[in-house]
Amino acid sequence: MDISAFFIRNVIFPLMEKIKGNTIRKKLRILQQLCYSSKEEVENFQKEELKNLLLYCIDNVPAYKELKYLKEKIEKDPIAAISEFPVLEKKNFMKNFDYFLSERADISKCILNRTGGSTGEPVKFYIDRETVEWYEAARYLGLSWWGINIGDRCLMLWASRNDIRNSNNLKEKIKERFLKNRLIISSWDINEKNLKEIVRKIKRFKPLYIYAYPSAAYKLAYLLNENAIDLNLKLKGIVTTAENLYEHQRELIEKVFKCPVINEYGARDAGIIAYQCPQGKIHVISPNIYLEFIKIGSLDEERRVLLSTDLHNFVMPRLRYKLGDIVSVDDEGCNCNIAFPVIKEIDGRVDEVLITRSGKCYDSHFLTTIMREIEVESILQYQLIQHSLDNLTLKIIKSDKFDENEIHKIIKLISEKMDGARVDVQYVSNIETGPSGKIRYLIREFHFSVKDKIVV
């Protein structure tokens, strides 16, 4: 029996509810009830939450007051009404920051949050405790699908420098270990030199699940595999988040850790958006968020740009907010009992779409698909940068099985698919990450316009 998990569930949470008015478990029960209800009940709940938010915005948020004429339409059909609200770009939000702050917001009770700026666009915004609790309830709901409960022992393989820095002081270490039952290992420390100490810490801690950047989990799995180290853990799963998860990463992580990889899709400026179920489908936590899918350029019909509306952030509402992510839509549904809608795949960010001179678009799976075609073993890590329509750079960290002939094959295939563009290769010892610690595998350095006039 895990004493810490028992203490958190039966002492810490009840005390937080009584003393601080914490309602995470209450919200979790609402989500659990909706999760196993009918599709109609979920849609009705979402529609009611959206109606309340839109009505609040036109009365209390300066950015949306000019849309008061939509009040009757909102009350009658909020789904139809929201399409008349403008799409919100990050740059417009940052430029008019105060304009989106509710006139009824109490700043002294608000939390100033910010994105990691992995795309070069760090965004700051306000949320309140109510919003955070809905985010946490959504995460616990997704974890519950895998038999993981509040307070279960968790190992975090994390890369955000701010988060790691904050967890290094004694007070935070005690809080992490005894109030959250969590051990944090910085992904920056995962290397051959530190492997023995990392293995010692993990074996001693005995986590029930791991919560990690995909690149961090993959790096640790690679080192364990190369050194023939078995952690002998009985994990319920490895939850990957913050970065795109690629199939070659999933395969090695599952092989080494002997457990399923669970894909969590979230964003600091949108909360927990979706969670993978045991059937392998990614379910949108639709009671918390309203999503729209916009066609982009010459990507196929399945792939769309995502617009998000957080249904529970009344402090600083961002309606039809363009996250910059691309997802594949899924109309097939899922065979599990979860009533929430599904998306097929998270395909990366808009600025991770490569553009050819003839107008073809390739998403973030572009290079991994090429490498799987020719079964590449030469590359430990990579980054492909498109400088212009005709020039790209491929940065490569060599693996122990490096073969230059493989690299020539990769360059040839990239050039062919990119309409004959030039591809230069740089061999590097490390690949720079953004401020949030995320690795960006594909980068496009220039903008382009698509058919629906949205600039990406």
Percent of the chain, pLDDT > 70?
Answer: 89
| Confidence band, pLDDT 50/70/90 cuts, at residue 456 | very low
Residue 99 Cα distances to 158, 192, 271, 290, 317, angstroms? 34, 50, 21, 22, 10
User: Residue 336 pLDDT more than 70?
Assistant: yes
Asked if 266 and 369 sit in the same domain, the reply is: no
Per-residue pLDDT tens for 118-127?
444 568 899 9
Please write the tens of the pLDDT for every residue from 145-180. Answer: 999 999 999 999 987 655 555 556 677 777 887 789
pLDDT tens-place string over residues 389-408: 999 999 998 887 888 888 99
The letter for the amino acid at 421 is A
Asked which of 316, 350, 384 is the last residue of a domain, the reply is 350
Tell me the average pLDDT of the chain: 88
User: Reduced to 3 DSSP states, what percent helix, strand and coil does the chain have, rounded to the nearest 5?
Assistant: 40, 25, 35
pLDDT tens, position by position, 7-57: 999 999 999 999 999 999 999 999 999 999 999 999 999 999 999 999 999
379 shares its domain with 344: no
Which range marks the domain in which residue 380 is found?
353-444
Residues 221 and 337 in one domain: yes
Q: Kindly indicate the confidence band of residue 234, based on its pLDDT and cuts at 50, 70 and 90.
A: very high
Round to whole Å and give the CA distance between 339 and 394: 43
**What is the average per-residue pLDDT within 338-366?**
78
Mean pLDDT, residues 332-346: 88
State the pLDDT confidence band at 140, using cuts at 50, 70 and 90.
Answer: very high
In the predicted structure, residue 117 carries a pLDDT above the cut 60: no
Percentage of the chain with pLDDT > 90?
62
The whole-angstrom separation of Cα 274 and Cα 293 is: 15
Q: Is residue 414 part of a domain?
A: yes
CB 136 within 8 Å of CB 24? yes
Question: What is the average pLDDT across 414-435?
Answer: 87
Q: Whole-angstrom Cα distance, residue 149 to residue 181?
A: 12
Give the pLDDT of residue 455: 26
Q: How many domains in the chain?
A: 2
- Residue 455: inside a domain: no
Same domain, 324 and 432: no
Whole-number pLDDT of residue 448: 60
Query: Tokens representing 245?
Result: 């998860």
pTM reported for the whole predicted model:
0.81
- 193/245 same-domain check: yes
* Higher local confidence (pLDDT), 164 or 276: 276
Whether the per-residue pLDDT at 454 is higher than 50: the answer is no
Q: Tell me, yes or no, whether 157 and 274 share the same domain.
A: yes
Check residue 452 and give its pLDDT: 36
**Are 252 and 193 in the same domain?**
yes
Residues 231 and 310 in one domain: yes
